[in-house]
Amino acid sequence: MFRVVLYGQWKWSRIIVVLGAIAGFALPILSVQGATGDPASALRPGELLGIVQAWGVLYPVLAAALGLLVAIATWAPDHRGRHVQALSLPLPRWRYVLLRFAAGLVLLVPAMLGVLAGAVLASATATLPAGLETYPVALAIRFALALAVAYAVFFAISAGTTRTAGIILGIIGAVIVVQVVASAAGIELDLTSPVQAVVMNWPGPLAIFTGRWMLIDV
Amino acid sequence: MSERVPAACCAVVLTLCAPLAGQIPKLRARADSLLVEWRQAKQFADLQDSLRLGRERGGRDTIRAGSLTYLVNPSPLPLAQAAAIAWPQVERFYGPAAQAFAQRPFLIQAVDPDTNEDVPPGQAIKILWNTDVAPLARALVAMADLGPLDPGLRDWLGGVVVPRFDSGPAHAAVYVQLVTAPSQAAQRCYRGDPTACRDALSLGAMTDPASQWYGPAERRALVLTQYGDFLRRTNHGLAVRSCEQGSNESCLELLRSLAPGALPQPLDYQARLTFLETAVRVGGAETFQRFLATPAGPMGSRLAAAARVSEDSLVGRWRSDVLAARPTPVPLPVWGAWVALGWIVVFGTCGLRSSRWRVS
pLDDT tens sequence across A96-135: 899 999 999 999 999 999 999 999 999 999 988 888 999 9
Give B59-98 pLDDT, tens digit per residue: 688 999 999 999 998 889 999 999 999 999 999 999 999 9
Give A176-193 pLDDT, tens digit per residue: 889 888 888 888 788 888
Task: State the pLDDT at residue B178.
Answer: 94
Q: Do A156 and B347 touch (CB under 8 A)?
A: yes
Higher pLDDT, B56 or B25: B25
Mean pLDDT along residues A19-43? 87
Which A-chain residues 102-161 have CB contacts (< 8 A) with chain B?
129-133, 135, 138-139, 141-142, 145-146, 148-149, 152-153, 155-156, 158-161
| Beta-strand pair B125-128/B106-111 | parallel
**Average pLDDT score over chain A:** 90
Higher pLDDT, B283 or B116: B283
Specify the range with the lowest mean pLDDT, choosing from A85-99, B115-129, B215-229, B314-328. Answer: B115-129
Q: How far apart are CA A30 and CA A56, in angstroms?
A: 11
Task: State the pLDDT at residue B360.
Answer: 41
Specify the range with the lowest mean pLDDT, choosing from A20-34, A52-66, B201-215, B320-334. Answer: B320-334
Tell me the range of A197-211, B18-32, B274-288 where mean pLDDT is highest: B274-288
Contacts of B264 (CB under 8 A, 6+ apart): B222, B226
Higher pLDDT, A1 or B324: B324
User: Distance, in angstroms, between A178 CA and closest chain B CA?
Assistant: 25
Question: What is the three-class DSSP state of A137?
Answer: helix
Q: How far apart are CA B253 and CA B216, in angstroms?
A: 12
Task: State the pLDDT at residue B32.
Answer: 85
Task: State the pLDDT at residue B20.
Answer: 55
HEC string for B76-115: CCCHHHHHHHHHHHHHHHHHHHHHHHHHCCEEEEEECCCC
Mean pLDDT along residues B214-233? 91
Confidence at B164, pLDDT banded by 50, 70, 90: confident
Single out the residue of A62, A64, A58, A69 nearest to residue A16, CA to CA: A69
ipTM reported for the complex, 2 dp? 0.87
**Average pLDDT score over chain B:** 86
Confidence at B117, pLDDT banded by 50, 70, 90: low
**Confidence (pTM):** 0.74
Task: State the pLDDT at residue B43.
Answer: 80
Task: State the pLDDT at residue B99.
Answer: 94
Could you tell me which chain B residue has the CA closest to the CA of A162? B360
Q: Do B351 and A83 touch (CB under 8 A)?
A: no
Q: How far apart are CA A76 and CA B166, in angstroms?
A: 57
Q: Do A149 and B351 touch (CB under 8 A)?
A: no
Q: How far apart are CA B118 and CA B124, in angstroms?
A: 14
Confidence at A160, pLDDT banded by 50, 70, 90: confident
A161 contacts on B by Cβ (under 8 Å): 354-356, 359-360
Confidence at B277, pLDDT banded by 50, 70, 90: very high
- Residue B359 pLDDT more than 50? no
Confidence at B136, pLDDT banded by 50, 70, 90: very high
Give A136-149 pLDDT, tens digit per residue: 999 999 999 999 99
B68, B88 Cβ separation under 8 angstroms: no
- Residue B69 parent element (H or E): strand B68-72
- Residue A213 pLDDT more than 50? yes
Specify the range with the lowest mean pLDDT, choosing from A95-109, A198-212, B40-54, B137-151. Answer: B40-54
Indicate the residue of B180, B336, B347 with minimum beta-carbon distance to A208.
Answer: B336
Q: How many residues does chain B have?
A: 360
Higher pLDDT, B6 or B131: B131
Q: How far apart are CA B106 and CA A180, in angstroms?
A: 44
Q: Do B187 and A130 touch (CB under 8 A)?
A: yes
- Residue A57 pLDDT more than 70? yes
Task: State the pLDDT at residue B8.
Answer: 55
Q: Output the DSSP codes for B115-178.
A: --SPPPPSSSEEEETT--HHHHHHHHHHH---GGG-HHHHHHHTS-----S--HHHHHHHHHHH
